[in-house]
Amino acid sequence: MTGDLIDADDQIVDDILPVRPDEPAIPAPLTLQPWHRPRKQFVRERQWAYLVQRLVSYQLGKPGMNSPHDRPEVRYLNLPGVDYLDTRLIGKLCNDLGCQLTATGFLAGNERNPQIARAKVQEEGLIESGLISDYSHTLPRRLEEVADLKSQTYRELERRGAFHIVNIDACGSVAPPTSDHSRRLIDAIYRLLEFQFTSHASRWLLFLTTDARPASVARETIGNLWNAVTLNADSDATFRHMVADIFNLPKADQVRFIPQSVSTAGTGFLQLLSLGFGKWALHLAERRQWRVKAHSTYCYSTTVKGDDTPTMACLAYEFRPPPPTRPDPFGVAAVSASEPIRAPGQTDSMRIAPKVNQMTNRDVT
Q: Each residue of 35-77: pLDDT tens digit? A: 456 788 889 999 999 999 999 999 987 776 776 667 899 999 9
Name all domains of the chain by residue range, CATH numbers in brackets. 24-223+264-323+337-361 (3.40.50.150)
pLDDT computed for residue 169 by the predictor: 94
| Residue among 352, 213, 209 at smallest CA distance from 275 | 352
DSSP, res 75? E
pLDDT computed for residue 7 by the predictor: 47
pLDDT computed for residue 8 by the predictor: 44
Contact 195, 147 (CB under 8 A): no
pLDDT computed for residue 2 by the predictor: 41
pLDDT computed for residue 20 by the predictor: 43
pLDDT computed for residue 345 by the predictor: 46
pLDDT computed for residue 5 by the predictor: 42
- Each residue of 85-103: b (16+ CB within 10 Å) or e? bbbbbbbbbbbebebbbbb
CA pair distance 27, 6, nearest whole angstrom: 37
DSSP, res 63? T
Q: Which residues of the chain have pLDDT under 50?
A: 1-23, 27-28, 35, 341, 344-345
Chain centroid, CA 19 distance in Å = 43
pLDDT computed for residue 205 by the predictor: 98
How many alpha carbons lie under 13 Å from residue 78 in its C-beta half-sphere?
29
CA pair distance 351, 346, nearest whole angstrom: 10
pLDDT computed for residue 249 by the predictor: 84
| Residue among 134, 128, 138, 39 at smallest CA distance from 80 | 138
Q: What is the model's pTM? A: 0.85
